[in-house]
Structure 1
Amino acid sequence: MTSATHRSADEIGRTERGPRPLPPLGEQRAAADLSHVDTTLANGLRVLAVRKATVPMVEARLWIPFAGEDALHPATAEVLAETILTGTARRNRIEIDTELALIGGDIGAGVDPERLVFTGSALADKLPTFLDVLGDVLTGATYADEEIAREKERLVERIAVSRTQPRTIAREALQKHRYGDHPATREVPKAEDVAVVTPEQVRALHRASVLPRGSVLVLVGDLDADGVIDELEKVLGGWASDRSAVRLPPLPDLTGPSVRLVPRAGAVQSQIRLSAQAVPRTDPGYAALQLANLAYGGYFSSRLVENIRENKGYTYSAHSGFEFTDGTAVVNVDADTATDATAPALLETRYELGRLGQVPPSGDELESVRQYAIGSLLTSTSSQSGLAGQVLALASTGLGLEWLNEHPARVAEVTADEVAEAALKYFAPKRFTGVVVGDAAVLERKLLALGDVVVGEPA
């Protein structure tokens, strides 16, 4: 009969003769040592075309800065993303879907306060047809009245459901607490705003904001990287404007240590969301910060997970990771807990932040996170889809494929002292702000006793 005795991660990693030895890091190869072209078309669109001929497919990612100050912008942008593929002057919805299906392709669109993103793929030998459809959508989307009405009705229902979800409530509270009324906080539009969006407003937003200058197109797959540029100049030649796509205003830097208890009467669970200013991938200290974050809460064998999940059972999942927005970065800490475990979980989360700076990772712990960082990067770029996503994330901040090629070596060279400095500088508890969403009637007294906690909805 199998023993039910719980074993910690440390115990699992040991044998009767002592700790399981970690294999040494091998020679670090580039994450994406592939032939590619990185250029800007005549219309101002940056294009990165990468040859990765693992399968006869091409993955496409188009990133368009899509910020807006108008109060109705989030709702109008959401309707636009839902209806941009429903018809053009040349093709109706059925014709678009049929033509894509015949080339083994698909295209989807999504939007947030920072960007409008198209994600798609097609058989490599049908790439010209795929690009023709994409160009047609970008230049000729019609937003028929009946399509707008149909998608608005679906959106209103989805938004109403989404706004009842604890994670959505917590995210919105965190955004308001961090950034006030900054446009970046408007991630989920109001259902009542969506209901009043008109087709003409959507068409006007397309004309004003679906622009190539300042946007990025990534193509990864079995392609001729040089030849595809000529095809793009031809297909996207009609997509042009003297204006640039609209980027978000700069985000304010975060300051701690105040954590806000946001009341949610009767909730049986609480959402802990902490956040602190970090540095972007372009910063020379990013590699050391990345390793410090992994040790804290960035993967399953991290200190935070070991403490509040494995040892104390306060949460099923706890995690820390980076959030990159238009050249800036923050590190976030997330955990969902039962109401009666919320205060102890917040206490231990802060404790692990402080311990990371005072007892930084070294030895086997450091080598574990180093190998995880390098291995996960190589894994994430092993597929065409994964590589396309990574290249797009980098290109949207001005970086290129070179960053992927060079980053494993940077991680391999990070010293224990550099990780210790990053831990002390960026993971100090006093640097973190955030929210706890939960039942204030139960939590208020205990959380206030921890200090640096205020109560009430964000202003």
Structure 2
Amino acid sequence: MIERAIAPAFREVENIDLIRAKPIILANGLKVFSIDGGEQDLVRIEFIFSNINYDSEKPLQTFATNTMLNDGTSELSSTEIADKIDYYGAFLQTEYANDHSTVTLFTLNKHLANTLPIVKAIISDSNFPQVELDTLIRNQKQKLSVSLEKNDFLSRKTFSKVLFGDTLYGYDVSASDYDQLDREQLLSYFKQAYQARNCTVIVSGKVKENTISLIDNYFGKDWDSALDVQENKFNFEVGAGAMHYLEREDALQSAIRIGQISINRIHPDFPALQVVNTILGGYFGSRLMANIREDKGFTYGIGSALVSLKNTGYFFIASEVGADVCSAALTEIEKEITILKEQLVTEDELSLVKNYMLGSMLGSLENSLSHADKFKNIYFSGLDYDYYSRYIHTLRNINIQEVQAIANKYLSFNSLEKVIVGKK
């Protein structure tokens, strides 16, 4: 008979074994990394391009180029591309992020010879048909119009602008920016960015010998790098911690987003600050949740996060609360930060958080695709697998005094930029 009043025993995570990426350099200099694992005959191939040559006069150029890659080539229409991919039971997607743009193919190995030529056409021969561009502009303007009615969207938009200014990270996109898009912009950026010298290929899943040879066949021989590329470089400084308030008189809820420029993954304090963040607001049992959701009932959810980007990192706290309790919620957030800085956490709370974080990391490594995701985190930060050894060492050994020291070093409520959308 199970005694349900007694929590089950747990064991500390001793070590986490990662499937290490095998590097391969093709004849044209294309960097390929293979992460082999799993029994299913499935492979994921990611073509990852660094975002380059940011121009604030053309803020949507990078996004639109990536979004339209599968909208047509000189020989295939968007419908033909979709039909061919569907015929082989494959899946093709484009993804745009702050630092990289990605084309990802999921396919069975037996169909790789049929699906790779489609990807090759997309990343070397896209022609951005005007009719598809007109549809993109129309749809994105409509989507923006709808989003601008949401307090949470406005808070994120304003917060990014406050922290990052007119860079790629923070540009305040308006409907008129979409009207400035034209085919020549996209074709120009496509020629500059979508070339072998600016691409990293990461292959994960059941990687067979002919998987790499097929990639070499289509991408290692006649896909050249015609131009030198300059990756985006931005410098940011911590702001003064001002209040940024956007009044919405009819709002029933106010969106809160507060934070500041912080460290990214390359900084040696990053793992320790992740521990502090988790205690404060990084999981469901965090102090912010316990206070502002469970005790005060101000919100359904509140959390904090530490985000690593290529050029910087940032810390933020976000929530939506009743408009009548917005000021009270800010007071409680400040209180929780102050307590974390002035009072030592208990050994029990720290032990719980450490085991939660180790367990979460272990649980996230369910297959070779997730091992590939872990590799991307370090590779694009210029780190090696030793980072994870140091990360685990920090989680296992950080003490309550170090937690307080890190909190005092990196957290100051007065220095946080405070964005409120709704009623203060």
Name the CA shift for 1:317/1:98 in 2 (closer, same or farther; >3 Å): same
Where does residue 12 of structure 2 map in the other structure?
25
Mapped pair 1:427 → 2:379: no
Name the CA shift for 1:356/1:62 in 2 (closer, same or farther; >3 Å): farther
Where does residue 23 of structure 2 map in the other structure?
38
Where does residue 186 of structure 1 map in the other structure?
171
Name the CA shift for 1:120/1:167 in 2 (closer, same or farther; >3 Å): farther
Amino acid of the structure 2 residue aligned with 1:80: T
Instruction: Work out which of the residue numbers 69, 86, 104 in structure 2 matches 1:119.
Output: 104
CA distance in 2, matches of 1:22, 1:276: 39
SS of residue paired to 2:249: coil
What is the correspondence of 1:138-153 to structure 2 with a 5 Å cutoff? Answer: 138-153=123-138
CA distance in 2, matches of 1:116, 1:100: 20
Where does residue 232 of structure 2 map in the other structure?
248
Mapped pair 1:307 → 2:294: no
Deviations 1:285-308 (A, max 9, x none): 222111111100000000111010
Question: 2:163 touches 2:260 (CA, 8 Å); kept in 1?
Answer: no
CA deviation after TM superposition for structure 1 residue 428, in Å: 2.8
CA deviation after TM superposition for structure 1 residue 437, in Å: 1.8
Amino acid of the structure 1 residue aligned with 2:89: G
Deviations 1:187-243 (A, max 9, x none): 7x432332342223221221122233343322210003x764443333113333254
Instruction: Work out which of the residue numbers 36, 49, 52 in structure 2 matches 1:51.
Output: 36
Amino acid of the structure 1 residue aligned with 2:23: D
CA distance in 1, matches of 2:226, 2:344: 51
What is the correspondence of 1:50-449 to structure 2 with a 5 Å cutoff? Answer: 50-186=35-171, 189-224=173-208, 228-237=211-220, 238-401=222-385, 403-404=387-388, 407-439=391-423, 443=424
SS of residue paired to 1:182: coil
* Bigger mean CA offset, 176-185 vs 368-377: 176-185
Amino acid of the structure 2 residue aligned with 1:141: S
SS of residue paired to 1:276: strand
CA distance in 2, matches of 1:244, 1:64: 13
CA distance in 1, matches of 2:137, 2:244: 34
Question: 1:67 touches 1:113 (CA, 8 Å); kept in 2?
Answer: no
* Bigger mean CA offset, 292-301 vs 378-387: 378-387
CA distance in 1, matches of 2:345, 2:86: 51
Question: 1:153 touches 1:195 (CA, 8 Å); kept in 2?
Answer: no
CA distance in 2, matches of 1:404, 1:243: 35
SS of residue paired to 1:260: strand
CA distance in 2, matches of 1:406, 1:42: 35
CA deviation after TM superposition for structure 1 residue 23, in Å: 2.8
SS of residue paired to 1:261: strand
CA distance in 1, matches of 2:35, 2:26: 16
SS of residue paired to 1:183: coil
Name the CA shift for 1:166/1:378 in 2 (closer, same or farther; >3 Å): same
Name the CA shift for 1:279/1:77 in 2 (closer, same or farther; >3 Å): closer
TM-score by length of 1: 0.83
CA distance in 1, matches of 2:113, 2:129: 26
SS of residue paired to 2:60: helix
Name the CA shift for 1:68/1:163 in 2 (closer, same or farther; >3 Å): farther
Deviations 1:243-262 (A, max 9, x none): 45443322312234323223
Name the CA shift for 1:314/1:141 in 2 (closer, same or farther; >3 Å): same
* Bigger mean CA offset, 139-148 vs 53-62: 53-62
Question: 2:238 touches 2:261 (CA, 8 Å); kept in 1?
Answer: yes
Provide the alpha-carbon RMSD of the alignment: 2.6
CA deviation after TM superposition for structure 1 residue 40, in Å: 4.3
CA distance in 1, matches of 2:263, 2:55: 29
CA deviation after TM superposition for structure 1 residue 398, in Å: 2.1
CA distance in 2, matches of 1:124, 1:409: 38
Unmatched runs of 5 consecutive residues or more in structure 1:
1-13, 444-459
CA distance in 2, matches of 1:55, 1:404: 27
* Bigger mean CA offset, 332-341 vs 138-147: 138-147
Where does residue 5 of structure 1 map in the other structure?
none
CA deviation after TM superposition for structure 1 residue 107, in Å: 1.3
Name the CA shift for 1:21/1:421 in 2 (closer, same or farther; >3 Å): farther
CA distance in 1, matches of 2:399, 2:374: 25
Deviations 1:341-384 (A, max 9, x none): 10010011111111111123341111111111111112222134
CA deviation after TM superposition for structure 1 residue 90, in Å: 3.9
Name the CA shift for 1:401/1:85 in 2 (closer, same or farther; >3 Å): farther
SS of residue paired to 2:301: strand
Deviations 1:266-315 (A, max 9, x none): 32211111113332222222221111111000000001110101100111
TM-score by length of 2: 0.89
SS of residue paired to 2:71: coil
CA distance in 1, matches of 2:315, 2:215: 37
Q: How many residues align?
A: 420
Name the CA shift for 1:360/1:437 in 2 (closer, same or farther; >3 Å): farther
CA distance in 2, matches of 1:378, 1:435: 35
Q: Share of identical aligned residues, percent? A: 22
Amino acid of the structure 2 residue aligned with 1:273: R
